[in-house]
Amino acid sequence: MPALSEISPLTVPLLVAAKGGEKIAMLTAYDAPSAALLDAAGVDVLLVGDSVEMAVYGEANTLSATMDSMVRHTRAVSHAVKRAVVVGDMPFLSFQTDPGRAVENAGRFLAEGGCAAVKVEGGSRILPAVEAILAADIPVMGHVGLTPQSYRKFGGFKVQGREADSARQIRDDAQALAQAGCFAIVLECVPDSLAVEITREIAIPTLGIGAGAACDGQVLVFHDVVGLTRDLRPKFVRRYADLASVIEGAARAFTQDVKSGAFPSKEESFTGVKPALRRVH
Ligand code: KIV
């Protein structure tokens, strides 16, 4: 199989075929301009995550995400992407209540959002929804470990799978999702040794976020990677740019120029008023 970077467009089966080989790079994306940049940079998977609620809308958690908002963001990202696989993140209560509703909502992501697959948070308990979505030929990415939609149950955004019982549950959940037919699974905030075992045991790619280096790929939130989130710095994030400083510097320079009259210049202004047309009676 050629390198993923040489293939365009990428597809869900190609990602599955990369298991155990080339690592998969995944970032979140929520809008067309940044999605176009990430796609051009060679990111393999763009996840339109419900983390948009925190990164873009300033919420304290992801529970406020709605179907309409997620589908709109997914559509914007899909419009901009030529190569990457776009995955839409199913929001809280869009798939947990009943499998029929889950299929309809997943279908909206593909039909209206234009993406290739959906992601759902949870393990064995959501299998009926996962199976129903898969039966409609909609590819599903699983998500276990710290599933942010369950953060109230966990008592916060805490590492999961440190106790033997919880580790066993996460392993069982990952296996059940893989056996059901998911094409990949996000492992969020679990000990690296647990991620090693799960990655070895299941036949589909694992995508880690705070899950160590053994996973088949890595995912991070775009705003964290480019340094737009100043206050929040989880241990597992590596910051590759400091866009917060760049943007603040640009805004400060603009403000100074406006106040001093240095902006706009003659070149940045329109000149030459045409004489008014004579009215013909
Ligand atoms: O919503 C999101 O951004 C996610 C990733 C952190 C995996 O679920």
Residue 278 confidence (pLDDT): 67
Catalytic residues: 188
Residue 273 confidence (pLDDT): 84
Residue 244 CA to residue 223 CA, distance in Å, equals 10
- Beta strand 206-209 with 184-188: parallel, antiparallel or unpaired? parallel
Half-sphere exposure of 237 (CA within 13 A, CB side): 19
Residue 7 confidence (pLDDT): 95
% residues pLDDT > 70 (the chain): 98
Half-sphere exposure of 275 (CA within 13 A, CB side): 2
Q: What sign does the dihedral 198-170-204-152 (CA atoms) show?
A: negative
Quick check: 205 and 24 in contact, CB under 8 A?
yes
Quick check: CB of 187 below 6 Å from ligand 1?
no
Å from CA of 158 to ligand 1 middle: 15
| 183 CB-contact burial (10 Å; exposed 0-12 / middle 13-18 / buried 19+) | buried
Name residue 28's beta-bridge partners.
47
Å from CA of 110 to ligand 1 middle: 18
Best substitution site from 119, 140, 150, 237 to test ligand 1's pocket, by max atoms within 8 Å of Cβ?
119
Residue 280 confidence (pLDDT): 64
Residue 138 confidence (pLDDT): 98
Quick check: CB of 25 below 6 Å from ligand 1?
no
Residue 83 CA to residue 180 CA, distance in Å, equals 27
For the segment 25-53, what is each residue's pLDDT rounded down to a tens digit? 999 999 999 999 999 999 999 999 999 99
Please give the model's pTM, rounded to 2 decimal places.
Answer: 0.95
Ligand 1, atom nearest to 119 Cα: 8
Is residue 119 classed as helix, strand or coil in its secondary structure? strand
For the segment 128-179, what is each residue's pLDDT rounded down to a tens digit? 999 999 999 999 999 999 999 999 999 999 999 999 999 999 999 999 999 9
Residue 19 confidence (pLDDT): 97
Quick check: CB of 210 below 6 Å from ligand 1?
no
Structure tokens at 171: 């392993």
Ligand 1, atom nearest to 28 Cα: 3
Mean pLDDT of 213-222: 98
CA angle, corner 155, sides to 154 and 156, nearest 5?
A: 95
The chain-wide mean pLDDT, for the chain, equals 96
Residue 272 confidence (pLDDT): 87
The residue contributing the CA closest to ligand 1 atom 2 is 49
Quick check: CB of 186 below 6 Å from ligand 1?
yes
Residue 224 confidence (pLDDT): 97
Mean pLDDT of 81-93: 98
Ligand 1, atom nearest to 121 Cα: 8
Pick from 123, 127, 135, 151: which is nearest to 61 by CA? 151
Quick check: 215 and 206 in contact, CB under 8 A?
yes
Å from CA of 225 to ligand 1 middle: 13
The residue contributing the CA closest to ligand 1 atom 3 is 49
pLDDT at 268 over 70: yes
The residue contributing the CA closest to ligand 1 atom 1 is 49
For the segment 232-241, what is each residue's pLDDT rounded down to a tens digit? 789 999 999 9
Best substitution site from 45, 59, 89 to test ligand 1's pocket, by max atoms within 8 Å of Cβ?
89
For the segment 51-86, what is each residue's pLDDT rounded down to a tens digit? 999 999 999 999 999 999 999 999 999 999 999 999
Residue 274 confidence (pLDDT): 81
- Nearest 5°: phi and psi at 39? -65, -45
Quick check: 51 and 77 in contact, CB under 8 A?
no
Quick check: 52 and 156 in contact, CB under 8 A?
no
% residues pLDDT > 90 (the chain): 93
Å from CA of 86 to ligand 1 middle: 13
Ligand 1, atom nearest to 221 Cα: 3
